[in-house]
Structure 1
């Protein structure tokens, strides 16, 4: 029999997650909660109010249930406790930022050259990380739970991608990054 169909696939994105986190973010309400808590901390009541602004009307006990799932998955954490009318008010914040968008169809066409340039720069960054931090990287690689289906290369790839992912997460919170975005936005308005 001859081959009827074949299509080569070029990976354009990386999604780094584990089963527990995947399950936690699979619910649209939990994704909305993560989005809310990535902007500012909030109590169950605060989260509920923000959800209502998005036309998500659920009971505070349901919000609490979703918060518990996200907390157990390591996505959000308790940030402070406040005395409140004889009780304790808990505030939470997200440890991750979820950016919910689908790239437009012409993304590669419009930004292909920029992506090629960024890829070249990323190779240099990875080379520098491996040269300067090889022993620490390998220590983390060796600490990962063995998987009968995965090669050592898989774990190295995971650790390097996670390292870059966390670096990007740190960069987008820096004042300098935010100012760069504002300058770009202001240039667009004057053009």
Structure 2
């Protein structure tokens, strides 16, 4: 059975009904959606659940309180995970948060592991009006995730890894960026 996954992050002025990026093939469908505020995320999770989504992954910016609320909104039968950061990333992710809150122009990448994805074509880049950029890139496996992360690391202040299978998937990405860029990975309760 193929997965039907939606990744949700927060972006000022976002329209939660629009796919920012979509990867769909015989292995399933993964879409990225943005919400303008966290409360919209709960509405979106509830709606997506009724539309047949079986997995939701939340950006690390939501944190555990919103993660818990999203699990309640999704109900049984839908897996809801969220990005969390390892100990090696805590100092740099705290720096990212402080710089973000201060209004600094920052760049981040969301690397999405989806079997059959092509990093050359499954890629969307948003240049932010205030500077910096957000890059979304689909990759077919963990090795490709590490390769893409290594290539992008010099221009990034944050990486979030979606669709990964836990620490075994995240470790090569952390190693590829030499722990110089914080790397978050989706955590689930099984």
**Which of structures 1 and 2 has the bigger CA Rg?**
1
Higher relative contact order by CA 8 Å / sep ≥ 6: 1 or 2? 2
Q: Given the two structures, how large is their TM-score scaled by the length of structure 1? A: 0.24
TM-score with structure 2 length normalisation?
Answer: 0.24
Q: Between Structure 1 and Structure 2, which shows a larger proportion of strand residues?
A: 2
